[in-house]
Structure 1
Amino acid sequence: MYLYLKALHIFSVVVFVGGTLTMGLLLRFIVRTDDRAQARRLTETLLHWDGLVTTPALGFVWAAGFTMAFGAGWFTSPWLLLKIGPALLLSGVHGLGGMALRRFLRDGRPVSPLFGLMPMVVLAILAVIAWLAVVKPF
């Protein structure tokens, strides 16, 4: 059963990170473009995808991850406790990106230039999570 959960977890992580990176790239595009009509169309499409695919994948990431951790007795492992911090941060970055896109659609408010950094932030957090999960240094 563990291997099936691990496969679901990894698949869900790939889908979630792919969607979150796409969101970050769209936010970067919005920050840099003057074509508001195209930005709105892309935002509508991405938010639809996010609701159907990316956000449910995030739910599977957490559900499969917690199930594996309970089953393996890892909740006292320092590496897992450290991994939860960046995982929460990555979930929060996804949530903030989604809020910025919805605000852009609803109010036409400009997106903060800081969102242009979102793809790099996502990759940096993912690197820390992957290192902790694979190396289990503590």
Structure 2
Amino acid sequence: MSLAAFYPWIKAMHVVSALVFFGGVVAVSAFLWSARGNSAGVSGIATTLRRWDHAVTTPAMILVWAFGLGLVLTGHWFDAPWLKAKLFLVIVLSAAHGIQSGRLRRVANGVASTSWPLLPMIFISLMGIAVLAVVKPS
């Protein structure tokens, strides 16, 4: 059986993983935004959210990349311009996750977060990814 026979399942798992990953990234971003300048009483929440990030959000990100590669292989989209743009946005979103993980670690260690929120960039990236994935403009 070829990889193409599994395309609907690969696509479904890619979408599910992406939703879980995006939910985790938004949750951390919302928490960091609400915790700005406040180190009292938020380190416990940050520690719990950090455990969730390590156990759920990061593995979901890895699955998004893995299933996405499977989709690219089955669709033969390596040279597609829309894929290059989507990959750029996915890299931005993955980098935002890494930045937020560091910020979350610092808040969990009692350091107040004073940096600007990444939520607008995260939403713009998600919208761009969704449009490019669905429309696949040439």
TM-score (norm 2): 0.91
Pair 1:47-2:43 in alignment:
no
The residue identity in structure 2 corresponding to 1:13 is A
Matched positions, count: 133
Moved more, 72-81 or 118-127: 118-127
Q: Note the aligned Cα RMSD (angstroms).
A: 1.3
1:91 equivalenced with 2:94 (yes/no) = yes
Deviation of 1:42 after TM superposition, in Å, equals: 1.0
Structure 1 residue identity aligned to 2:131? W
Question: SS of 1:110's equivalent?
Answer: coil
Counterpart of 2:121 in structure 1 is: 121
Q: CA deviation at 1:120?
A: 2.2
Query: Matches of 1:125 and 1:98 in 2, distance apart?
Result: 18
Identical counterparts, % of pairs: 35
Runs of 5+ in structure 2 lacking a partner? 1-5
Q: Give the match's secondary structure for 1:113.
A: coil
- The 2-side partners of 1:124 and 1:130 are apart by 10
| Cα distance in 2 for residues equivalent to 1:77 and 1:67 | 15
- Give a deviation string over 1:85-107, Cα, whole Å, max 9, x none: 0000000001100101112223x
Which residue pairs with 1:137 in the alignment?
137
Q: Which protein has the bigger helix share?
A: 1
Counterpart CA distance in 1 for 2:121 and 2:48 is: 23
The residue type paired with residue 60 of structure 1 is L
Check whether the contact 2:39–2:107 (CA below 8 A) recurs between aligned residues: no
How far apart, CA to CA, are the structure 1 residues paired with 2:55 and 2:116? 26
TM-score scaled by length of structure 1? 0.91
Deviation beyond 6 Å, 4+ runs, structure 1: none
